[in-house]
Structure 1
Amino acid sequence: MQFFSFHQFLILTAWLSLCLVAKADHFQHFQQQIKADESLSFLVVGDWGRRGLYNQSQVATQMGIIGEKENINFVISTGDNFYEDGVIGPDDSAFNESFFNIYTAPSLQKKWYLVLGNHDYRGDALAQLKVDLRWICSRPSYILNAVHAEFFFVDTTPFVDDYFTNPKEHVYDWRGVLPREDYLSNLLKHLNSTLKNSSAKWKIVVGHHTIRSAGHHGNTTDLVTHLLPILKANNIDFYINGHDHCLEHISDADSKIEFFTSGGGSKAWKGDIKWWSPEELKLYYDGQGFMLVKMTETTADIQFYDVFGNVLHKWSKLKELDSVTQRNFTDA
């Protein structure tokens, strides 16, 4: 008969506890340390994985510079981490050629919290679902707690009907997603519950697909129908996405949600813009770049940078007790 040491018993108990928590709400939970002054800063980049091409390396260089200047805590990826068709397995050279060998700056050797995009689903999607010292990605959603802010990372690709009904020449890896109706129902149920029970000062939802966008893909109808009502009902502050290869900020007239697109990590789509109300469209930039967010308990400061490190747009939101005021800055 085999006996466990006390140390092994503690590890086993902790592992079982985590499994029970995961089974209870289907979402993994992560904790992120903030700075000594209780502030938090992070970068957001999306649609980047092109082995350094289409200015991916140049964007990475500027991210490293700004990341060092701002002493960032982590990086968020809004998906489409590897083009054109994800990765073929956990040992795919793309991990090195598009990630480890590109984002080499010391300031970027922090945790990266990622979601999957539609291009990631065209390869071995499970190979990207891993947790290590730098790469954190999980499904159907996972939660990052950073004291004053709570981040909800949502797997948006399975929401889109076209990928199932009209996949064209593409083959999607739906392992773990089917039956789709159950997957989405459970995701929405538990997202609503965790958002409702969150006591965080700031609630931020991250997904790959757009909800509000003047870009090539425009609004994702399936998310507007199924996800947006939950985000509105739970008074989230920001929805951050990629998918459209641009940098974008929309202040929604129908809700208090600010919509930010950071999909300029590599290939951009010049001139691909639809008309949008000027009162709502605070920024549309059809080039490469990334986003910086700096937060305290009462402030959130947003900046967008281009591939040369120039500031394209600044915006701030202030929270004081139960009242909220906003300030818009002149674009740089």
Structure 2
Amino acid sequence: MVSIKPMMILIILGLCLILECGKAELPRFEHPIKPDGSLSLLVVGDWGRRGLFNQSQVAAQMGKMGEEADVDFIVSTGDNFYDDGLTGINDPAFEESFTNVYLSPSLQKQWYIVLGNHDYRGDVLAQLDPILTQKDKRWFCMRSYVLNTDVAEFFFLDTTPFSDKYFSDPDHTYDWRGILPREEYLSNLLKDLDTALKQSTSNWKIVIGHHTIRSGGYHGNTVELENRLLPILQENHVDLYINGHDHCLEHITTSESPIQFLTSGGGSKAWKNKFNPVNKDDLKFYYDGQGFLTMKITKADLHFQYYDIFGNILHQSSLPKGFYPM
């Protein structure tokens, strides 16, 4: 494993761009934790709209909460640039939707990013290109990778290629470079994830993807992930699955396993009154407005909070380590 440094990011991203990623074991990186043994982070998704649809207001509150929590890094759950990704490495949308929006001092930390389906509508390799890291050193985007933080391991997963509908969408085109043949790509990705999870000795295992597994939002559950990904998460005692895609904030549990399903897709445009009924005993929290997620992790427990654009705490929960039966 290697520590994240700007030059190393450029080297690794360049290699992965050449290899088109996903064809070897998942790349692994490290991020240091605080001297007291804790880790703090922010999670935001579905944000890239040049500051519009309250993106700037979300960013401002993220900055305030980020300073208060002394965050170590920020996670993006995908759909980084609307509506159709980036046109290339020189697309001004990169600065207009990222660099010039997340201006607060507390947000000048490393951003760990996955791709969403809207990102695949544009030049998907542009978001993986090390030139973007030269433009803004915070930017770290790969298809899939593992981030070790001593108290927790984060498994970032490329979920868009799992969805059948994007491969037959008559209204949009998608950039599948590096994905085809699709079944080989997905099989290798799932095998590599399973191996990485089995090898993990971390206190907390957290998987991050763009698409939902469980959701009461507009998109609802993603059947392909339920069938192919969820069994691997359950078998390997994953603690949390965090996603975007549905433009809302939610916390779901199910009786079938102790995995906590957290949606943080309220980075800009939200969907009002587009709720799909779910088991009321499973749904712990749902908010169809803009906002974001904060998280503090220690070896003993994990605490998370959802905030709206006014800085109000909408929902919070604490999980003691050991709640997942081994």
Fold in common (TM above 0.5): yes
Of 263, 277, 280, 2:279 maps to: 277
Q: Once the two structures are superposed, what CA deviation does each residue of 1:50-104 show, in whole Å capped at 9, x if it has no partner?
A: 0000000000000000000000000000000000000000111011000000000
3-state SS of paired residue (2:247): coil
Q: Once the two structures are superposed, what CA deviation does each residue of 1:177-202 show, in whole Å capped at 9, x if it has no partner?
A: 00001100100001001101100010
> What code does the residue aligned with 1:222 have?
E
Structure 1 gap ranges (5+):
1-10, 326-332
Q: Once the two structures are superposed, what CA deviation does each residue of 1:238-295 show, in whole Å capped at 9, x if it has no partner?
A: 0000000000000121111000000000000011111122211111000000000000
User: What corresponds to 1:161 in structure 2?
Assistant: 164
Q: Does 1:298 align with 2:303?
A: no
Percent of aligned pairs sharing the same letter = 60
CA contact (8 A) 2:155 2:207 kept: yes
User: What corresponds to 1:53 in structure 2?
Assistant: 52
Q: Does 1:174 align with 2:176?
A: yes
3-state SS of paired residue (2:185): helix
Query: Structure 2 vs 1, CA of residues 243 and 97 (structure 1 numbering), >3 Å: closer, same or farther?
Result: same
For the residues of structure 1 that align with 2:218 and 2:173, how far apart are their CA atoms? 22
Q: Does 1:220 align with 2:222?
A: yes
> What code does the residue aligned with 1:145 have?
N
Q: Does 1:143 align with 2:146?
A: yes
CA contact (8 A) 2:49 2:81 kept: yes
> What code does the residue aligned with 2:65 have?
I
Alignment of 1:36-51 (within 5 A): 36-51=35-50
3-state SS of paired residue (1:67): helix
CA contact (8 A) 1:111 1:134 kept: yes
3-state SS of paired residue (1:324): coil
> What code does the residue aligned with 1:214 have?
G
For the residues of structure 2 that align with 1:311 and 1:210, how far apart are their CA atoms? 23
Q: Once the two structures are superposed, what CA deviation does each residue of 1:112-161 show, in whole Å capped at 9, x if it has no partner?
A: 0011000000000011114533111112x100000010000000000000
Query: Structure 2 vs 1, CA of residues 300 and 270 (structure 1 numbering), >3 Å: closer, same or farther?
Result: same
> What code does the residue aligned with 1:190 have?
D
Q: CA deviation at 1:23?
A: 9.1
User: What corresponds to 1:330 in structure 2?
Assistant: none
Of 135, 138, 149, 1:134 maps to: 138
User: What corresponds to 2:206 in structure 1?
Assistant: 204
Question: How many residues are paired up?
Answer: 306
Structure 2 gap ranges (5+):
1-7
Query: Structure 2 vs 1, CA of residues 90 and 23 (structure 1 numbering), >3 Å: closer, same or farther?
Result: closer
3-state SS of paired residue (1:230): helix
Query: Structure 2 vs 1, CA of residues 304 and 180 (structure 1 numbering), >3 Å: closer, same or farther?
Result: same
> What code does the residue aligned with 2:128 have?
L
User: What corresponds to 2:3 in structure 1?
Assistant: none
For the residues of structure 2 that align with 1:156 and 1:201, how far apart are their CA atoms? 24
User: What corresponds to 1:84 in structure 2?
Assistant: 83
Alignment of 1:4-153 (within 5 A): 25-130=24-129, 132=133, 133-139=137-143, 141-153=144-156
Q: Which has the higher contact order (CA 8 A, sep 6+)?
A: 2
CA contact (8 A) 1:115 1:208 kept: yes
Alignment of 1:177-326 (within 5 A): 177-319=179-321, 323-324=322-323
For the residues of structure 2 that align with 1:187 and 1:67, how far apart are their CA atoms? 33
Q: CA deviation at 1:324?
A: 2.4
CA contact (8 A) 2:78 2:116 kept: yes
> What code does the residue aligned with 1:148 have?
V
Q: CA deviation at 1:174?
A: 0.2
For the residues of structure 2 that align with 1:54 and 1:318, how far apart are their CA atoms? 36
For the residues of structure 2 that align with 1:198 and 1:25, how far apart are their CA atoms? 17
For the residues of structure 1 that align with 2:141 and 2:300, how far apart are their CA atoms? 28
RMSD of aligned alpha carbons: 2.0
For the residues of structure 2 that align with 1:130 and 1:105, how far apart are their CA atoms? 25
3-state SS of paired residue (2:269): coil
> What code does the residue aligned with 2:139 have?
W
CA contact (8 A) 1:130 1:136 kept: no
CA contact (8 A) 2:43 2:264 kept: yes
3-state SS of paired residue (2:262): strand
CA contact (8 A) 1:85 1:120 kept: yes
For the residues of structure 2 that align with 1:302 and 1:130, how far apart are their CA atoms? 32
Q: CA deviation at 1:26?
A: 2.9
> What code does the residue aligned with 1:306 have?
D
